[in-house]
A and B are shown apart, each in its own frame.
Chain A
Amino acid sequence: GDSVTQMEGPVTLSEEAFLTINCTYTATGYPSLFWYVQYPGEGLQLLLKATKADDKGSNKGFEATYRKETTSFHLEKGSVQVSDSAVYFCALSSNQGGKLIFGQGTELSVKP
């Protein structure tokens, strides 16, 4: 079945460091891909999405490119801030009625 694998956390970075969180997927067909962010004590917020191969989703300085050849959707940001500390989830849309399949989440901690 469809699945999403994220790099394990926690990831700890200094402010202004470069961020990469790896995400790979297994799916039949051509799913849409998403990154969600969850700040402490809150629900998930949609961060960015891509709907087809080679699409680049971007938002708030974060970006990710849909790579069909490597089945990947890695999240990147050039310069992280303390306020980016959160848990990040990669997800894909399954071919079962639009349900989302989530990765296990990666916790990011940014130190000043």
Chain B
Amino acid sequence: EADIYQTPRYLVIGTGKKITLECSQTMGHDKMYWYQQDPGMELHLIHYSYGVNSTEKGDLSSESTVSRIRTEHFPLTLESARPSHTSQYLCASSEWGLDEQYFGPGTRLTVT
């Protein structure tokens, strides 16, 4: 069983607010990922990291930013939330040398 946690699970906020979605894993995995999942279910990679101080943008352009100061922690920040950011955000991690990713439970964000 993978140990990867996301908080909050659900968040409703107003337009213009700054928010940080938290993601932590206790497996010591070097690689971590953020996906945005739209209502049609499709997953879009928005950020990834291969280790401390490493961050890269994913395949889908996103106004969010990420940081990786500690191996176990990979937070995602939206400086000014907009209704178009309403979505499910999934965090994942994987061990170096292996391809399978382990996912957290997700954060469902609604921006009003």
CB distance from A103 to the nearest CB of B (A): 9
- Main secondary structure on chain B at its contact with chain A? strand
Q: Which residues of B contact A49 (CB under 8 A)?
A: 100
Q: Enumerate 27 A-B pairs (CB-CB under 8 Å) in ascending A order.
A: A32-B100, A34-B100, A38-B41, A42-B105, A43-B6, A43-B90, A43-B105, A44-B90, A44-B92, A44-B103, A45-B103, A46-B100, A46-B101, A46-B102, A89-B43, A97-B48, A98-B94, A98-B98, A98-B99, A99-B33, A99-B48, A100-B99, A100-B101, A102-B43, A104-B41, A105-B41, A107-B41
Look across to chain B and name the residue whose beta carbon is closest to the beta carbon of A44.
Answer: B103
- Main secondary structure on chain A at its contact with chain B? strand
CB distance from B54 to the nearest CB of A (A): 11
Bound: A42/B2 CA distance, A: 13
* Interface membership of chain B positions 31-46, coded 1 if the CB is closer than 8 angstroms to chain A and 0 otherwise: 1010000001111010
Bound: A49/B102 CA distance, A: 13
Bound: A72/B65 CA distance, A: 36
- Residues from 85 to 112 in A contacting B, C-beta threshold 8 Å: 87, 89, 93, 97-100, 102, 104-105, 107
CB distance from B106 to the nearest CB of A (A): 5
Tell whether, in the assembled complex, residue B106 and residue A42 are in contact, meaning their CB atoms are under 8 Å apart.
Answer: yes
Bound: A44/B37 CA distance, A: 11
Tell whether, in the assembled complex, residue B101 and residue A43 are in contact, meaning their CB atoms are under 8 Å apart.
Answer: no
Counting chain B CB atoms within 10 Å of each CB, which of A32, A43, A46, A107 scores highest? A43
Tell whether, in the assembled complex, residue B103 and residue A105 are in contact, meaning their CB atoms are under 8 Å apart.
Answer: no
CB distance from A88 to the nearest CB of B (A): 10
CB distance from A45 to the nearest CB of B (A): 7
Tell whether, in the assembled complex, residue A99 and residue B105 are in contact, meaning their CB atoms are under 8 Å apart.
Answer: no
CB distance from B17 to the nearest CB of A (A): 24
Counting chain B CB atoms within 10 Å of each CB, which of A34, A98, A107 scores highest? A98
